[in-house]
């Protein structure tokens, strides 16, 4: 009887061990199954080496937090990127996501290549409210948002402290009136000294003046330029720039003659520039003049500068839109934005202003403050052609080749035609 009980116990033990071993085997198979079912999304970009170092860090964190999603990144040289994207779209092999130049978004959206994020992401409004409105606007086209800002930049006033001190200027100008007053003092330093310089009459240079005077290139819905580009507020901006040129306050390089703005600034020949965050990285250690940052001088329209940077967009061809959307959310998190900022990229989320990293940063704060009011160049598929038109009109007016009315009425009419897109 005892032997029978022992035999029975041995049989039970064997069965239990078999079940445990089977469970372990199944667990291994289950783990392997999870790994096999992981989705891979592709992300193309044009990042610099310091930026890519930070990207590798955040991708590793994302994959650790989302083991079912793998991110395959590809760095493409900027001058090859657009062509490569168009080729991939034609072949049905477009990436899931890219970091796009802001000027490409409306063009690709018009082509039908991009997914409408305000339809793909149920929580779109949450992230829309979290980012700066200027950078966000570069993603809006024909009633929908096709992306989010990923990193941004703008231009702020950079002033030459040594020239200011020599001319008896105590502080950077806060208004357009103060700007003229400062220029008058700077000119006393000599005919070869200039108050301000820029490289031409293209949008990056003139739009901050147009907007700060209350003017614009088109209406808010981007349907018409007439009444805006040739309107009274825009004219006031160009009249102001013309006054700077005529009085010798503005370096003649804005008329197309060319000017080494940074070199002339460092040689104490130019007192003020509008520059982006890259100025410090290049300037420090190469030129010796002390300088400071200040907002764009305010006019009737406020203190408004121009938005630059890149957006993150999703291609309509993506077979993994949910996973791609999750990566977008991650890239817009405060932790990720600050990590990328350590590689030199200015964050796009408003909450970044309150982080210790930004508060203690040498110069990011100036740009983030300006971004609260900065605007984007007109997000339209024909933007490049539009810019060429009023670039020429501005040069014609500032050089007295044409009156404002003759130059800008024709420009507005030509842009009106470009704003009409075939269905």
Report the distance separating Cα 325 and Cα 257, nearest Å. 47
Residue ranges, CATH 3.40.190.10, the chain: 39-154+307-371, 156-305+382-419
Q: With contact defined as beta carbons under 8 Å apart, do 40 and 72 qualify?
A: yes
pLDDT in tens, the chain (423 residues): 434 444 444 444 444 444 444 444 454 444 444 455 789 999 999 998 889 999 999 999 999 999 999 999 999 998 899 999 999 999 999 999 999 999 899 999 999 999 999 999 999 999 999 999 989 999 999 899 999 999 999 999 999 999 999 999 999 999 999 999 999 999 999 999 999 999 899 999 999 999 999 999 999 999 999 999 999 999 999 999 999 999 999 999 888 767 888 889 999 999 999 999 888 877 765 666 899 999 999 999 999 999 999 999 999 999 999 999 999 999 999 999 999 999 889 999 999 889 999 999 989 989 988 988 999 999 999 998 999 999 999 999 999 999 999 999 999 999 999 999 987
DSSP per-residue string spanning 224-266? --TTTTTSHHHHHHHHHHHHHHHTT-B-GGGGTT---HHHHHH
**Whose CA is closest to 273, among 195, 350, 207?**
195
* Domain boundaries 39-154+307-371, CATH class: alpha beta
Structure tokens of 121? Answer: 């992401």
Report the distance separating Cα 250 and Cα 207, nearest Å. 16
CB atoms inside a 10 Å sphere around CB 35 = 11
Structure tokens of 104? Answer: 């490409």
* Strand order across the beta sheet in which 156-160 lies: 194-196, 270-275, 156-160, 291-294
Q: Which fold has domain 156-305+382-419?
A: D-Maltodextrin-Binding Protein; domain 2 (3.40.190)
How is residue 9 annotated by DSSP? H
Residues 6+ apart with CB under 8 A from 69: 38, 39, 40, 41, 62, 63, 323, 326, 327
Structure tokens of 320? Answer: 């993994």
Residue listed under structure tokens 């970009």: 45
Opening angle at CA 234, ends 229 and 238, nearest 5 = 115
């Amino acid at each position: 009887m005892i032997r029978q009980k022992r035999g029975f116990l041995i049989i039970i033990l064997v069965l239990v061990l078999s079940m445990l071993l089977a469970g372990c085997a199944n667990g291994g198979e289950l783990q392997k199954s999870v790994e096999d079912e992981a989705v891979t999304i592709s992300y193309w970009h044009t990042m610099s080496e310091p930026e890519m170092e930070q990207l590798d860090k955040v991708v590793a964190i994302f994959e650790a937090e989302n083991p079912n999603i793998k991110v395959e990144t590809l760095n493409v040289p900027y001058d090859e990127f657009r062509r490569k994207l168009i080729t991939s779209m034609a072949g049905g092999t477009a990436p899931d996501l890219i970091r796009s130049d802001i000027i490409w978004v409306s063009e690709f959206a018009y082509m039908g290549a991009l997914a409408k994020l305000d339809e793909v992401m149920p929580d779109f409004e949450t992230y829309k409210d979290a980012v700066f409105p200027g950078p966000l606007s570069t993603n809006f086209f024909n009633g929908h948002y096709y992306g989010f800002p990923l990193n941004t930049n703008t231009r702020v006033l950079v002033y030459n402290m040594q020239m200011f001190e020599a001319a008896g200027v105590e502080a950077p100008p806060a208004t357009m009136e103060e700007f003229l007053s400062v220029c008058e003092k700077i000119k006393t330093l000599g005919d070869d000294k200039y108050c301000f310089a820029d490289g031409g009459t293209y949008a990056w240079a003139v739009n901050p003046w147009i907007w700060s005077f209350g003017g614009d290139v088109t209406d808010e819905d981007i349907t018409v330029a007439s009444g805006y580009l040739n309107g009274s507020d825009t004219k006031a901006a160009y009249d102001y720039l013309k006054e700077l040129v005529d009085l010798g306050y503005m370096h003649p390089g804005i008329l197309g003659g060319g000017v080494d703005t940074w070199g002339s600034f460092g040689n104490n020949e130019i007192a003020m520039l509008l520059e982006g965050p890259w100025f410090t990285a290049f300037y420090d250690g190469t030129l010796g003049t002390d300088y400071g940052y200040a907002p764009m001088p305010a006019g009737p329209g406020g203190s408004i500068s121009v938005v630059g940077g890149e957006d993150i967009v999703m291609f309509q061809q993506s077979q993994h839109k949910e996973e791609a959307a999750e990566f977008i959310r991650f890239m817009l998190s405060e932790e990720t934005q600050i990590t990328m900022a350590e590689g030199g990229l200015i964050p796009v989320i408003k909450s970044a202003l309150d982080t210790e990293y930004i508060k203690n940063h040498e110069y990011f704060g100036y740009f983030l403050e300006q971004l609260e009011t900065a605007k984007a160049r007109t997000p339209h598929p024909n933007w490049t052609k539009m810019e060429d038109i009023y670039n020429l009109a501005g040069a014609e007016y500032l050089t007295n080749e044409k009156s404002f009315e003759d130059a800008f009425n024709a420009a507005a009419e030509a842009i009106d035609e470009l704003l009409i897109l075939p269905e």
